[in-house]
Structure 1
Amino acid sequence: MTPVPGLLVAAPRSSSGKTTVTLALMRALRRRGLRVQGAKCGPDYIDPAFHHAATGAPSVNLDSFAMPEPLLDGVAGIAMTGADLVIAEGSMGLFDGIVAREGVTGANADIAARYGWPVILVLDVSGAAQSAAAVALGCAAYDPRIRIAGVVLNKVASARHRRLIEAGLARIGMPVLGALMRDGALALPERHLGLVQARETGDLEARLDRLADLAESGLDLDAILGAASGTGLPAGPTTLPRPPGQRIAVASDAAFSFLYPHLEIGWRRAGAELVAFSPLADEPPPQDCDVCWLPGGYPELHAGILAEAARFRDGVRDFARTKPVHGECGGYMVLGESLEDADGITHPMTALLPVATSYRARRLHLGYRVATLVADGVLGRAGARLVGHEFHYASERTDPPVHDIALAAVTDAEGTPQGLAGHRRGNVTGSFFHLIAG
């Protein structure tokens, strides 16, 4: 494949404005007629939907820890195909990842190094002036594998504030590629798992167009385009995820939407057909499908509606009598016996798995998970190794699963055992684990 130029939009830490700058660049460059393709570094299933809205093309996740190299390159190949430019958005800080050998830490820097994409460093300069240059200098010197093409200043307070910051950056020879003034109206609405989903942001197009206007007025788009480059895919085999069935019923609505794009694209490219249905609209999974997949999402915000969705509940039970049903995170909660919402109201769910969950006593569960399947199932054979991610605030109110009904034995990213996780009963499986690679 001919190398496709790319850029990684990253920052020294979270909440610096990466998503704002990324979406502004994507929409502004799309206005110029460029075929822009988005990517998200790490396990984030919300931001890619915003990339898709900004560019008109599906975005993918690139994860150097969770994805073996053939899969990582296969997914990167999706991003590069037909694109004039790839804009990848980082997660957390530029170098934040797990403790592991170089190149497989899950850090944004691994992706920039592997594909030769220069870094646009977003600096939140609120509360700093010349000291921002010291932060930029540290990022530039920390990892010799990557190159920082320049910085974008975010949350600039005034013209004087900008002059002070630029004086420090001039001292270290770091290009300033533009600035965005402090403006609380730029922030996208958020909830407990991050941004409110793209499909639920009613004024999203207007917001994206405003961001593009700000990019055109505040960023040096010509210099940013001129900085883009790439080395293409490394030599070697590439793979994409294999589908769990030929015709897959996928729950899809405001309660079920966290399906990683590379899974969906990989399944389709392998010849599978994905058939969407909406539990919130009381739709059952189509019975002519051979697998039912309930992704994560926000069932805790719609528990009352789901509890009353009799056609959905009866339909998924009928489906499970003869064919596999799998639930991830929110899907797992709905496959259980009950779900307690934030107000302490307990709602009956499908009762296909012996688990009850609660969102009332919120506790963050976050991190990579490496799972070894206990038994054969829709995710693979017993002993198969899967890698994924967990991110939720719900807790299980029932006893931990025992071996006879557990889905998998799980460790964290560094191999520390986390015990047994998830449940299986007949043709039904589920856990809080979001599959990335298997």
Structure 2
Amino acid sequence: MSNPPKGLLISAPSSGTGKTTVMLGLLRALAQDGLAVQPFKSGPDYIDPAFHRAAAGRASFNFDTWAMNEGLLGAISAQSAGADIVIAEGSMGLYDGVAFAGETGHGTSAETAAKMGWGVILVIDVSGQAQSAAAVALGFREYRPDLNFAGVILNRVASPRHERLTRLGMEAHGIKVLGSLPRRGDLALPERHLGLIQAFEHPDLEAAISGYADFLRENVDLEAIKAAATGGETLVPGSLPKPPAQKIALAQDAAFSFTYPHLLAGWRAAGAEITPFSPLADEAPAADADLVWLPGGYPELHAGQLAAAQTFRKAMLQHAETRPVHGECGGYMALGQALIDKEGNSHEMLGLLGLVTSYEKRKFHLGYRKAQLGAPMPGFEAGATLRGHEFHYSTILEEPDAPLAEVLDAEGAPVPETGSIKGHTTGTFFHLIAEAES
């Protein structure tokens, strides 16, 4: 087994510091230099991997120390075969994760970097501070001394004087400054309520990424960043997730797009045929599909269009009479009786389940989920334990069907979103990541 390429993890003290734009610019700049760059995302994110792929020209995968066992982590690590360097993006702050780990880790970006032996670059928003930023960096470096702390990139620097004072603080404590990015208001990626818009919705993604790369080239030491990459022990690869059916019709458009890349890679590697279709374009799933899978996304933004999609509706009802249908989060909502948008308008959904959800009064649901199935769902028998992640703003008004699972959060507390089963149709509010070992 060959050793994986050396790597770096781009992290930050908190969300909102600009690490995603640094990540995209760095991916593109290194690719422009002729390197094969393997991107990863630490943690449960459905949107960033598509941006990574656009910037690096290579599929990005999630790496999750809470939800994935060692074999799956090894299988995902092996996707870097043939790359010259790995660049991973952290989620939230470097040390942010769950409070209770149980038989797995806390799901922090720091755990990912430590497991892979990657160097950590901390992107620090230095707005409103100068030498004090060094105290932040020093605290992050000393909080976990076993990490390879490669250095910092200063972001949103106001002036040459501001940069000089900030660098003085870093240098006084031996913290390497790998770049200093001047404050620019046009670097933010467009966002909506779940974070970034989807990559394919960006009005000019290629121009944006090229601009980030040029900005990084002008303001960071690319050679020092390349030299800071490190690698640890090779993880022994296990298996990617097995497909839930042989021929899978996968909804794929602006309303349904949140599918983890490692799931699709595993399904394809095992020989499953995945046929995409667009409910928004009123397309029917493949008539000979063994399973229809509706992933999460933004059905609430397209509820009227989905309600009017009669070809889609008729085909889904016909399929569900004899074969399985499964929906996750937004897909689960679309399988329900109705979806109420933020203006209070009720839109008829497929009615395969009795679920009624509303965005009129938003309620934030976020976190890891551990689910023990009380009934089978596609790919898993009753009694199986699944790990996943929930992230949405909808409120359940009615969930009358039989519960699919007993669902707990990462700290072991029960959550009311149990999912549903009715006939051949199942749905969950959590996005599946992997089957748990226990």
- Give the TM-score normalised by structure 1: 0.97
**Contact map agreement 2:4 2:81 (CA 8 A) in 1:** no
SS at match of 2:398: coil
Shift of 1:98: 1.2
Unaligned runs of 5+ residues in structure 2 are: none
Matches of 1:274 and 1:280, distance apart in 2: 18
Matches of 1:102 and 1:422, distance apart in 2: 24
Q: Spell out the pairing of 1:265-284 with structure 2 (5 A cutoff).
A: 265-284=265-284
Counterpart code for 1:434: H
Q: In the alignment, which residue of structure 2 is the partner of 1:304?
A: 304
Q: In the alignment, which residue of structure 1 is the partner of 2:75?
A: 74
SS at match of 1:421: coil
SS at match of 1:57: coil
Residue 321 (1) aligns with residue 321 (2): yes
Q: Spell out the pairing of 1:248-259 with structure 2 (5 A cutoff).
A: 248-259=248-259
Q: In the alignment, which residue of structure 2 is the partner of 1:411?
A: 408
SS at match of 1:216: helix
Residue 287 (1) aligns with residue 287 (2): yes
Residue 434 (1) aligns with residue 435 (2): no
Matches of 1:5 and 1:377, distance apart in 2: 39
Q: In the alignment, which residue of structure 1 is the partner of 2:18?
A: 17
Moved more, 91-100 or 205-214: 91-100
Counterpart code for 1:262: H
Query: 1:398-428 CA deviation, whole Å, 9 max, x = no partner?
Result: 1565xxx111100111111224611111110
Q: Spell out the pairing of 1:2-13 with structure 2 (5 A cutoff).
A: 2-13=3-14
Q: In the alignment, which residue of structure 1 is the partner of 2:420?
A: 423
**Contact map agreement 1:43 1:63 (CA 8 A) in 2:** yes
Unaligned runs of 5+ residues in structure 1 are: none
Q: Spell out the pairing of 1:15-414 with structure 2 (5 A cutoff).
A: 15-78=16-79, 80-99=80-99, 100=101, 104-234=105-235, 236-399=236-399, 405-414=402-411
Matches of 2:399 and 2:322, distance apart in 1: 28
Shift of 1:199: 0.5
Counterpart code for 2:321: R
Matches of 2:264 and 2:399, distance apart in 1: 33
Counterpart code for 1:88: A
Give the count of matched residue pairs.
433
**Contact map agreement 2:4 2:78 (CA 8 A) in 1:** no
Matches of 2:359 and 2:423, distance apart in 1: 27
Moved more, 68-77 or 304-313: 68-77
Matches of 1:400 and 1:273, distance apart in 2: 33
Shift of 1:141: 0.7
Matches of 1:185 and 1:174, distance apart in 2: 29
Identity of aligned residues (%): 57
Counterpart code for 2:208: R
**Contact map agreement 1:103 1:110 (CA 8 A) in 2:** no
RMSD over aligned Cα, in angstroms? 1.2
**Contact map agreement 2:372 2:405 (CA 8 A) in 1:** yes
Counterpart code for 2:92: M
Matches of 2:399 and 2:199, distance apart in 1: 36
Counterpart code for 1:263: L
**Contact map agreement 2:10 2:88 (CA 8 A) in 1:** yes
Query: 1:268-317 CA deviation, whole Å, 9 max, x = no partner?
Result: 11111110000000001111111110000000000000000000011111
Counterpart code for 2:384: A
Shift of 1:144: 2.3
Matches of 1:60 and 1:334, distance apart in 2: 27
Counterpart code for 1:409: E
Counterpart code for 1:281: A
Counterpart code for 2:377: G
Matches of 1:116 and 1:8, distance apart in 2: 10
Matches of 1:21 and 1:92, distance apart in 2: 15
Shift of 1:255: 0.4
Matches of 2:102 and 2:395, distance apart in 1: 33
The 1:163/1:400 distance shift into structure 2, 3 A limit, reads farther
